[in-house]
Amino acid sequence: MVEIELDGQKVEVPPGSMVMHAAEKAGTYIPHFCYHKKLSIAANCRMCLVDVEKAPKPMPACATPVTMGMIVRTKSDKAVKA
């Protein structure tokens, strides 16, 4: 399992999961339009942008794989403005 921090909450998800999956498991809603768990990942709509620590710009939650120790913020100024 891979452990990340999502809005201050520790979440464990299987390796290869996307940030969107970790948010669903944590009960955190991330707005999205083009993402659906039964379709391929397009990441076109950019509605699911989140603030990932050490990333230069907001990242799409539907297409960003989790890494051990990743820190994600869905309600930061950077994420909200994106």
User: Domains of the chain (ranges plus CATH)?
Assistant: 2-81 (3.10.20.740)
Q: What is the pTM of this model?
A: 0.89
Looking at residue 9, its pLDDT comes to 95
Question: Predicted confidence band at 37 (pLDDT cuts at 50, 70, 90)?
Answer: confident
Q: What angle do CA 4, 65, 38 make, to 5 degrees?
A: 115
Instruction: Tell me the CA distances in angstroms from 36 to 7, 31, 32, 43, one per residue in order.
Output: 23, 12, 9, 11
Looking at residue 3, its pLDDT comes to 95
